[in-house]
């Protein structure tokens, strides 16, 4: 394994990797940047939706995913946007 990666639970990682390999790649989608860490929040001065919002609003994934993502959004978003919490406090609250 490359030293450029940190894998906190190698056993779990290997199980997931095997599931991906056995499942094949024809139906595999890799979705990144749910929370705008690498994309812009505003385009031409207008706020644009995050990937997570687009997936939820347009119902592009399963109803189970939609419910779980809505639940997580409702649970954590108030902390993400809070001006009364430090970054450390937010990180502590949002650890799963």
**Tens digits of per-residue pLDDT, 31-63?**
777 667 777 788 899 988 887 778 778 887 888
User: What does the pLDDT read at residue 39?
Assistant: 76
Closest to 81 in 3D by CA, of 41, 39, 51, 38: 41
Least confident window among 29-33, 43-47, 77-81, 92-96: 29-33
Name the pLDDT band for 1 (thresholds 50, 70, 90): very low
DSSP 34-46: TTSSSS-SEETTE
**Tens digits of per-residue pLDDT, 11-26?**
999 998 998 898 888 8
Q: What is the pTM of this model?
A: 0.48
Residues in Cβ contact with 2 at an 8 Å cutoff, skipping those fewer than 6 apart: none
């Amino acid at each position: 394994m490359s030293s450029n990666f940190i894998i906190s639970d190698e056993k779990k990682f290997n199980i997931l990797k095997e599931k991906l390999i056995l499942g094949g790649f024809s139906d595999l989608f890799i979705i990144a940047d749910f929370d705008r860490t690498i994309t812009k929040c505003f385009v031409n001065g207008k706020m644009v939706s995050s990937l997570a919002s687009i997936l939820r609003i347009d119902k592009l994934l399963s109803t189970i995913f939609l419910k779980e993502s809505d639940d997580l959004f409702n649970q954590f978003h108030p902390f993400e946007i809070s001006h009364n919490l430090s970054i450390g406090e937010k990180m502590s609250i949002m650890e799963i």
